[in-house]
Chains A and B, each alone.
Chain A
């Protein structure tokens, strides 16, 4: 099966990219293994406890993708800069207590690995 990697740099709600990435990834799962790399402000997307009054909860959307097998990783430097800390223990597939299950903070070298092993790459950024 081919692999698709999506790179996101926007946080949730400031643009539609998180929701677009969700729809792309969900549709692509029929034909692709899907990776999502969260970079820069993109690391805010999987934060637990979001309560957008008028928008779809982006964190929950990404949590659903992780449940379906999408590999979602967040850049460690970007996450640290924004207050998300990786823990040693992995609980429910995540190494960050502030993140939804299945979504991990990782080294940016994983971006390189994801890109080099991908057949298609989509970057969504303003």
Chain B
């Protein structure tokens, strides 16, 4: 496999999944082309200005800022459904429509859903 697509469809902080996906994705960067796709509630990870201090867990947006080479696609219709479209989002992320999101999944050698 030369490329992997990690699909996140759950909100950050409610479970370990978003952290788990980012951890797995970043360690794969040396060996593979890596894309993280934020879909459904996963798009909440795209919000700028996250502050997780009171939760006692790592700030996941810091990981996104630290790994600018990580390609992160944000499913635009999911943003719209959650009234997040037009909100302040992390600048390094790419907004994509339905077609381009699934094309990115299809063109990857494997899709890993956590």
Contact = CB atoms under 8 A, between A and B. Distances in A.
Interface of A: 7, 9, 39-40, 77-78, 108-109, 111-113, 115-121, 123, 125
Interface string B2-18: 10100000000000110
A121 B20 contact: no
Contacts of A77: 23
Interface residues of B, number: 19
Contacts of B31: 112-113, 115-116
B17 to A, nearest CB: 7
B24 interface: yes
A4 to B, nearest CB: 11
5 contacts: A9-B20, A112-B31, A118-B1, A121-B112, A125-B113
A125 B10 CA distance: 12
A109 B25 CA distance: 10
B4 A9 contact: no
Chain A facing B: main interface SS: mixed
Contacts of B111: 121, 123
A39 B114 CA distance: 9
A33 to B, nearest CB: 14
Interface in B62-112: 109-112
Interface of B: 1-2, 4, 16-17, 20, 23-24, 27-28, 30-32, 109-114
B113 A111 contact: no
B1 A115 contact: yes
Contact of A108 (B1, B23, B30, B109): B23
Contact of B16 (A40, A112, A120, A123): A40
A113 B1 CA distance: 10
Contact of B24 (A108, A117, A120): A108
A115 B114 CA distance: 15
B17 A7 contact: no
Contacts of B113: 123, 125
A113 to B, nearest CB: 7
Given A40-B20, A116-B2, A123-B112, 18 more contacts: A9-B20, A39-B20, A39-B114, A77-B23, A108-B27, A109-B27, A112-B24, A112-B31, A112-B32, A115-B1, A115-B4, A115-B31, A115-B110, A118-B1, A121-B109, A123-B111, A123-B114, A125-B113
